[in-house]
């Protein structure tokens, strides 16, 4: 294993743990905001930086995963567990887009932000499920 491969693998794992963990924080923060009756302004001030961090982490996951495949001379891209992981990563990005859209729409309608907070919460939990599925595919390599 080359030193660049090992460093890229460490970066990939660190981004997965530290960067994508923000998706859980988004879900928990939205649940607390919804149940605690926090104002939209207070809630949105938490969501914006967490959503920015998580979208950067999604991009870093994609790039580091593709770099790992490149460094392994394409050894992974022929396997369906790798392809499925990439597809699920793009699906996670789509759900992330829904959360960002809910944040924009909630900011535009400050009079009643509750449904938008719920959308952000459910989107965040959906992203967590998708990241969990990716993790299982990457570790179990079922096909």
Q: Which residues contact 77 (CB under 8 A, 6 or more apart)?
A: 69, 83
With 0.95 as the threshold, say if the pTM is over it.
no
Question: pLDDT tens string for the chain (143 positions)?
Answer: 789 999 999 999 999 999 889 999 999 999 998 888 888 888 888 899 999 999 999 999 999 999 999 999 999 988 999 999 999 999 999 999 999 999 998 888 756 667 889 999 999 999 999 999 999 999 999 88
**Which domain range does residue 96 map to?**
3-140
* Domain count across the chain: 1
Nearest to 143, CA basis, from 61, 76, 63? 76
């Amino acid at each position: 294993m080359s030193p660049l491969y090992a460093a890229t693998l460490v970066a990939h794992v660190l981004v997965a743990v530290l960067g994508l963990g923000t998706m859980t924080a988004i879900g928990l923060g939205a649940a607390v905001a919804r149940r605690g009756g926090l104002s939209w302004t207070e809630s949105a001030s938490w969501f914006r930086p967490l959503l920015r961090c998580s979208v950067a982490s999604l991009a870093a996951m994609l790039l580091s995963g593709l770099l790992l495949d490149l460094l392994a001379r394409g050894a992974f891209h022929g396997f369906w567990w790798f392809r499925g992981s990439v597809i699920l990563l793009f699906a996670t990005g789509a759900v992330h887009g829904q959360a960002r859209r809910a944040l924009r729409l909630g900011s535009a309608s400050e009079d009643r932000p509750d449904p938008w907070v719920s959308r952000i919460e459910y989107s965040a939990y959906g992203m967590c499920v998708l990241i969990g599925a990716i993790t299982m595919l990457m570790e179990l390599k079922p096909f």
